[in-house]
Structure 1
C-alpha cells in the first residue's frame, strides 16, 4: 500500500508495539517521530523496522517532521496508543480509490468495557457526525496533495488535530469503515466525567483564542 504511517511518540514503549502489530505489513512506510523518549521507545521502533526521526517535543512539530520525511502520496497520522481494527487496510484502500480528494478518520473505540466508555464513544460519534470534529486518537488519513492545499501541519504543542481538521472542513472529511481502538488510561485515571469536562474546557479556550502553549498546562 502506497501509504506512510506517521506516529509521534514520547515514552510510548509500553503501547507502541501493539500499535505497530495492528498495522500488519500493509504500509509502504512506518515513520516513528520521537520527541525525546527515555524509555527505549526509539530503540523498539527501530528494532521493528520503523524509520525513526527525532523532532522537538510536541505532536504538531513531530507530525510535521514525519510528513516531511515520508515519500508516499498518502499519509496516515496515528497516535502511539491507538490500534487499528483488522479491516483497516480495506477501508483505507476503498477511501483512496473512491474519495481521493477527501480525508478520512476511524470510528473511536476505547479499550475499556465500562458503560462510561460506551457513552463516550457515542458522544464522539455525535461530535464527528454533527460538528465534523474527529480528534487525533481516531487517526487521520490524508493525501499529501490535500495536506499541502490546507497548509500542512502547524507546529502546535496541543490542538494540532483540531486545527488541521478545521482547515480541512466538513465537506472534505469522511468516516472510514473501521475502528481505532484507543487507550482509555487517561479517562480511567482521571475519571470519565472530569477528563471529558477538562477536554471540553480546553477546546472552548482554544476556540476563544487562548494560545496552545498555555493550554498544555491544563492538559
Structure 2
C-alpha cells in the first residue's frame, strides 16, 4: 500500500484584505482538491474579510491581532503535517506548492521557503527581490514574504512563532536553523510591491536594513515596530 503524502495546510493571516482574499483563495483551490486545506486567520478586520473568505476556505478563525499570534492560532487548528505560512498579498506557484512534501523528503530537510518576485512598476523591485533571495541563501534566514513552510512536528518543537510585534519570521528562522538549513525553492512566489511603492522603494529598503541590524543588536521588537510605523497588522 502506497504511503499517503502529508496533508498541506496553508495558513493565511489577514487584516482588512477583503479586496484580494477571494482571488488568493481561488488560486489555492487546487491545494484543497489535492487533500490539503486553507485556513484564514483574521485579526478583527473592519472590512468584512472573514465573512468574504468563509465560503472559499476550509476554516476562517479569529485571533488576537498580530501576524505571529494569528499564524500560531492557525497552526494549532491545522490538520496538516506540513504548514505553509502565506501572506494575503502573495501568490504561490501552485504546482510547486503541491510538490513540497516530495521536495522536502528528497532534500532531507524539514523546512524552507520560496524565492520571491515582487510585483510592481518600480525598476528597482527586481533588484530588491534578488537581494532578498541571495541574502536568504547566504544566511539561512527566511522572511514572511518568501512563504515559509515547515514540518508541523518541527514547528511545534521550536515553539512556533515568537509573538513579537516585528521580526517574527527572523526569530523563527533562527530557531529552525538549529535543526538544519532551509530548502530554498527557486520557483518564486509573487508578492505585492505595495509596501515598497507606497513608502518609497529605497527608503523602505534602508529602513528594513536598519531594523534588521537593530534587531540583531538586541533592540526589542516593540520599539522597532514603532519605528517602522507598524500597527500590528499583516501587510
Superposition pairs for residues 57-206 of structure 1, below 5 Å? 57-99=65-107, 101-169=109-177, 171-206=180-215
Task: State the alpha-carbon separation in 2 of the partners of residues 144 and 100 from structure 1.
Answer: 15
| Residue matched to 1:25 | 30
Aligned: 1:39 with 2:44: no
TM-fit CA distance, 1:90: 4.5
Instruction: Work out which of the residue numbers 55, 63, 83 in structure 2 matches 1:55.
Output: 63
Task: State the alpha-carbon separation in 2 of the partners of residues 173 and 93 from structure 1.
Answer: 14
Query: Is the CA contact (8 Å cut-off) linking 1:100 and 1:143 kept in structure 2?
Result: no
Task: State the alpha-carbon separation in 1 of the partners of residues 107 and 81 from structure 2.
Answer: 14
Task: State the alpha-carbon separation in 2 of the partners of residues 174 and 111 from structure 1.
Answer: 23
TM-fit CA distance, 1:100: 5.5
TM-fit CA distance, 1:15: 2.4
Query: Is the CA contact (8 Å cut-off) linking 1:5 and 1:77 kept in structure 2?
Result: yes
Instruction: Work out which of the residue numbers 7, 12, 29 in structure 1 matches 2:12.
Output: 7
Aligned length: 219
**Structure 1: runs of 5 or more not aligned:** none
TM-fit CA distance, 1:122: 1.4
Query: Is the CA contact (8 Å cut-off) linking 1:3 and 1:75 kept in structure 2?
Result: yes
Root mean square deviation of aligned Cα: 1.7
TM-fit CA distance, 1:61: 0.7
Task: State the alpha-carbon separation in 1 of the partners of residues 16 and 151 from structure 2.
Answer: 28
Task: State the alpha-carbon separation in 2 of the partners of residues 7 and 23 from structure 1.
Answer: 11
